[in-house]
Amino acid sequence: MAKGCDVKQERISFGGYGAEPGKFQGNFGVAVSADSEIFVTDQFNKRVQVFNMKGTFLRLFPTVVPGERKTMRPCSVSIDVGPGYLWVLGRYKEAHVVKYSKNGQPIKKFDFINKSVYPVIAMDVRNSKVIVGDGQRIVMFDPNGSRLWSSEVRLGYGIGGITSDKEGNVMLTDRRKTIQKYIPSGVKIFEFGTSGKGKGQLNSPRGICLDTSGHIIVASYLKDRVDMFTSQGEFVRTIADIKFPEAVAMGPCGELVVTSPYTNTVSIFPRHMVLP
């Protein structure tokens, strides 16, 4: 366990609807840095807000598009490979991917023509690449914005969440019932999931992340819960019951952070509530 990790903490929830600091209007994306700062996209307030692992508001910054006199509506966020930076995917007519410092200084950006209302972003940490899930396609960019490859995934409802494992494989949810895994070249190699009300079944899966042991953690939006699976897709247990969970992220001490745009709240589940 990392130094300073507190296993005795109970669940914490914070936020609520509003425009003042600490409140949200569309908190669809979340990421946690190595130093335990929580970054939450606040879409309709056009900003990213930052909190600590106790849910205390630290700071915020507007999602300015560098080189342009406009502020985008952020949809999704991911921590960069280099410490002190993050990537935010947002829209202002077209879609922008912007790199910021942790204090909100815009560094650089690249654009792409988006096909969905809520595209999502993740980092391929192993290869230092930017992954975008947009509708029914995965797009891989290098950090300068050059498109490396694009793969159509043929999903009925589009990509709900996306992440990458230690080998550089891409994992996504299909907004219906399945979790899918693709090798770095974009070829699907694995899929699991069924729709239903039983244990381990999914209904509109959205956010997805991995813990340090490789467990797959999925927010099942219409099931009001967050479930854990093994890397082979076997159901382990339900971690959290939460109304309409959207995005999920793991903290460095094994905490789970979950957003719910329906209630405009963020919940932190400590390590002892997350471990199988």
Nearest one of 108, 137, 143 to 120, comparing CA atoms: 137
SS3 assignment, position 45: helix
Residue 69 confidence (pLDDT): 87
* Token pair 């957003």 in the structure block, residue: 259
| Token duo for residue 241 | 């019951």
Residue 118 confidence (pLDDT): 86
What residues does each domain of the chain span? 193-275
Predicted confidence (pLDDT) per residue in 169-217, tens digit: 999 999 889 999 999 888 899 999 998 878 889 999 999 999 999 999 9
Asked whether the beta carbons of 154 and 181 are under 8 A apart, the reply is: no
Asked whether the beta carbons of 191 and 181 are under 8 A apart, the reply is: yes
Residue 267 confidence (pLDDT): 98
Residue 185 confidence (pLDDT): 81
Torsion angle, CA of 260/202/224/218, rounded to 10 degrees? -40
Pick among 2.40.10.500, 3.60.21.70, 2.60.120.10, 1.10.540.10: CATH of 193-275: 2.40.10.500
Close Cβ partners of 200 (under 8 Å, ≥ 6 residues apart): 227, 229, 235
Low-confidence spans in the chain with pLDDT less than 50? none
SS3 assignment, position 92: strand
Predicted confidence (pLDDT) per residue in 115-146, tens digit: 888 899 999 988 899 999 998 999 999 999 99
